[in-house]
Amino acid sequence: MKKIEFSKSFQVENRDADADEKTKYCTVEWSNSNHSELANLIQEKMAQKSNLNVLEIGVDRNAGDSSTKCFKSNLRHEDKYLGVDIADRSHIIEGNRINFVQTDAKDYQKVLEKLTGLNMLPIDILFIDGWHSLNQVLAELEYVQYMNDDGIIILHDTNGHPGPREVIRCIDKKEWDVRNHCPQENDYGLSSIRSR
Ligand SMILES: C[S@@+](CC[C@H](N)C(=O)[O-])C[C@H]1O[C@@H](n2cnc3c(N)ncnc32)[C@H](O)[C@@H]1O
């Protein structure tokens, strides 16, 4: 997939900060609407293609519902998933289908070696929900070059956290179709990006 370009300048005080003021209204980390909207996007991709490759950055942090659980319950046996997290989330592993690598998402060599070994390139769905600073999210968007042209990038926390919010606000909308699936103020937000 082509490189993401931005048509506006980023407005963040600290490019390495994860959270800001706007997140104070959000009470549920992974809402029911986040779950149903992500499930819809997964179903949409599954209707287009068999053997999907999914890369998730930031994996299953809490005991309750999560994006990871949404992927695990929706993906088919032939689809492949790789989760990347700096913390140990190896409890998610399921046979050859659901895989995990413990590392910083910026360790491209380690993540790409794992994706290659699992025969998971190119990527069809890139889900970004790790450290939410602008610098980290921009670094994670480097994986876009390893995606199919018709792949979909999905970001959680696009309503408040600085990195996801600024990426969605500033991305060049002439080149990219950007949709906020959960715009309500008390939700952390879930947005998708597709190449036009
Ligand atoms: C908000 S949680 C979301 C996890 C998951 N998507 C969910 O719904 O539970 C963010 C996760 O990102 C991980 N994380 C933070 N910085 C990271 C980095 N640099 N590389 C990879 N993972 C990171 C954290 O350990 C944490 O598990």
84: Cβ below 6 Å to ligand 1? Answer: yes
Burial of 155 (0-12, 13-18, 19+ CB in 10 A): buried
- Cα distance between residue 146 and residue 122, in whole Å: 5
Lowest mean pLDDT among 20-34, 73-87, 154-168: 20-34
CA dihedral 194, 55, 5, 193 (to 10 degrees): 20
| 161 Cβ contact partners less than 8 Å away, ≥ 6 residues apart | 18, 19, 20, 23, 132, 188
Whole-number pLDDT of residue 23: 63
22 has a pLDDT exceeding 80: no
The amino acid occupying position 120 is M
Give the residue, out of 61, 84, 92, with the most ligand 1 atoms within 8 A of its beta carbon, to mutate for a pocket test.
61
Q: How many CB atoms lie within 10 A of CB 87?
A: 10
What's the pLDDT tens digit per position in 97-155? 999 999 999 999 999 999 999 999 999 999 999 999 999 999 999 999 999 999 999 99
Report the predicted TM-score, pTM, of the whole model to 2 decimal places.
0.97
In this structure, what DSSP letter does residue 178 have?
Answer: E
57: Cβ below 6 Å to ligand 1? Answer: yes
Give the residue, out of 29, 59, 134, with the most ligand 1 atoms within 8 A of its beta carbon, to mutate for a pocket test.
59
Residue with the smallest CA separation from ligand 1 atom 18 is 104
144: Cβ below 6 Å to ligand 1? Answer: no
Whole-number pLDDT of residue 160: 84
The percent of residues in the chain predicted with pLDDT above 70, rounded, is 97
Atom of ligand 1 nearest to the CA of 30: 8
194: Cβ below 6 Å to ligand 1? Answer: no
Structural domains of the chain, with CATH: 29-152 (3.40.50.150)
What's the pLDDT tens digit per position in 61-78? 988 899 999 999 999 999
